Amino acid sequence: MSGLMYAIRLNGPNDFEYTRVMVPEVGPFEVLCRVESVAICGTDPHIIEGDYPGFWPKEYPLIPGHEWSGVIAKLDEKAYEFGWREGDRVCGISHVGCGYCSMCLEGRYNLCLNFGNETLGHRQHGHYTPGAYAQYMLSSIKSIARLPEEMSFNAGACMDPLSIALHMAMRSKLVPGDSVLVNGAGAQGLMSIMCVKSMGAGMVMVSGSGNRLNIAEKLGAIPINYREEDVAARVRELTGGRGAKRILECSGTEKGIAQACAAVAKGGCISVVSLPPGDGNITIPLKQLVLNEVELVGNRANPNTLEKAIAMATAHKFDIDSLVTHEFPLSEYAQALEVFVGRKENSLKVVCKPNE
């Protein structure tokens, strides 16, 4: 594992290649992992297209990929002192806070005040520092968790988005019995349904269309086809006119946000994970939100929810593997990306295998 490895290297907007790069050296508090599975995230195509210039990435080249699982192949002494061992099965998340700023000290390392400052130890794997579309992934022990034996590597690679869904659900202040609308039935929406159901939600509704909506229904949510019906009107009908107490917004569209504002109950909360397109400056009915004391909560990534999500998925037997519809060797990344972006063959989570 010294020398060279295969990776997807992004050389510029829309310009990537499967090529050999140097295997990274392990530093203090770090582990080098053999990547077994890496899932394509909805953010990846945007990073690849160059939609966040100067930010994700700050500069080229970049190895993207951040939803991963694997096995520790090499580790530093300090990582060893923390209990990590060669051969441990792990999964990871993208954010590594500096650990010292006031946000990090509050546990909100996703909002680290030293974002982008590598000298001070900040990293965001696969966004501006090297990621997991590679045979080996270097990670801080701050951003990994152990996988239970019964969890597959594919499911392990999905613990990053699952822990984001959990963060979003927790930030919605869901309490048992609350009605919930999950806006969007993609992988993030489906994982949100799993989370809120095991957190004790009352009626769970979901807006979406096509095959994804059928899967959401199988997970126990009441399906609302946004192409055929007025989502807010249907939510009001199902909730005796009150609206949904908690809304988890995973659609990422202006229409989805408008729908959430129209469907939310008095005193409710709209918890948003998706980034709207473009500059994201969209119109919201603020007067209505103020008068109804509606909370609008932003969510960035998954601070401190990775271990929780793994525990929840294990205890409640979430069928994460069934969300992984496609698997490709990493060498066929271009095709994997096409299937994912085009939602071809009812694709949901598309996983690449760098070591097969």
10 versus 205: smaller Cβ distance to Zn ion: 10
Task: Determine the size of the site formed for Zn ion (CB under 5 A).
Answer: 7
Site for Zn ion in 7-46 (CB under 5 A): 41
114 versus 355: smaller Cβ distance to Zn ion: 114
Question: Closest separation between CB of residue 48 and Zn ion, Å?
Answer: 13
Question: Closest separation between CB of residue 67 and Zn ion, Å?
Answer: 5
128 versus 226: smaller Cβ distance to Zn ion: 128
**Window contacting Zn ion (CB under 5 A); options: 98-106, 169-177, 211-219, 322-330:** 98-106
Which residue, 180, 322, 344, is CA-closest to 250? 180
182 versus 232: smaller Cβ distance to Zn ion: 182
**Window contacting Zn ion (CB under 5 A); options: 112-120, 136-144, 177-185, 216-224:** 112-120
Question: Closest separation between CB of residue 111 and Zn ion, Å?
Answer: 8
Contact flag: residue 137 with Zn ion (CB under 5 A): no
Q: Which of 23, 33, 35, 98 binds Zn ion (CB under 5 A)?
A: 98
Q: Which of 57, 70, 97, 131 binds Zn ion (CB under 5 A)?
A: 97
33 versus 112: smaller Cβ distance to Zn ion: 112
Site for Zn ion in 193-252 (CB under 5 A): none
**Window contacting Zn ion (CB under 5 A); options: 22-30, 108-116, 167-175, 327-335:** 108-116
Q: Which of 40, 101, 185, 352 binds Zn ion (CB under 5 A)?
A: 101
**Window contacting Zn ion (CB under 5 A); options: 8-16, 48-56, 83-91, 99-107:** 99-107
Q: Which of 104, 309, 324, 352 binds Zn ion (CB under 5 A)?
A: 104
Contact flag: residue 132 with Zn ion (CB under 5 A): no
Contact flag: residue 112 with Zn ion (CB under 5 A): yes
Question: Closest separation between CB of residue 303 and Zn ion, Å?
Answer: 11
Cis, bond preceding 61 (omega within 30 deg of 0): yes
264 versus 351: smaller Cβ distance to Zn ion: 351
Residues contacting 68, CB < 8 A, separation 6+: 33, 35, 37, 38, 39, 91, 92, 131, 132, 137, 157, 160
Residues that bind Zn ion (CB under 5 A): 41, 97-98, 101, 104, 112, 114
